[in-house]
Amino acid sequence: MKSNIKAVIFDMDGVISDTQVIHSQVESDLLKEYGLDIHPDEITKKYAGTTSYQMFPHVFQTFEKEMPPIEEMVSKKRERIDKAVRGAVREVPGTRDFINFLKLQNMPTAVASASRLSFIDLVLSELDLKDKFNAIASSEEVRMGKP
């Protein structure tokens, strides 16, 4: 029986890599420095898959606090998250086997993520998976992120 599936597109955070926990912890720690106490689990629940440019303004608005410049927040988060994943990122169990299975079937695969391209490259390199994908799309390539 022939399949109608032409390609498989993976999200990265939480699908290929177990990085959502790292994201939310870094964000929680950063927000505490600005007097906002939000638990990492709450950040994951409300903001997983959104960009920093969407999340930070919403958090500050929700807490009715004046927000520092967005670029300051984003820059601090990027620096901290890049450091946090080095040597600490784990793959979601079973994902590598599935990706390898798809490659054996000559199925094109891609990654589409709300993360920035440099972070996607870092995580996939840390997991030694970067060469497994035919295409990678980041949040930097679209006007609106998730949802």
- Which pTM was predicted? 0.81
DSSP alpha helices (H): ranges in the chain?
Answer: 20-32, 40-47, 52-62, 70-85, 95-104, 117-126
What is the location of CATH 3.40.50.1000 in the chain? 8-18+90-141
* Contact status, residue 28 vs residue 43, Cβ threshold 8 Å: yes
Delimit the CATH 1.10.150 region(s) of the chain.
20-85
Please give the structure tokens belonging to residue 125. Answer: 């390199």
Domain at 8-18+90-141, CATH from 3.40.720.10, 3.20.20.70, 3.90.550.10, 3.40.50.1000: 3.40.50.1000
**How do residues 64-91 score in pLDDT, each as one tens digit?**
999 999 999 999 999 999 999 999 999 9
What is the pLDDT at residue 1? 47
CATH architecture of 20-85: Orthogonal Bundle (1.10)
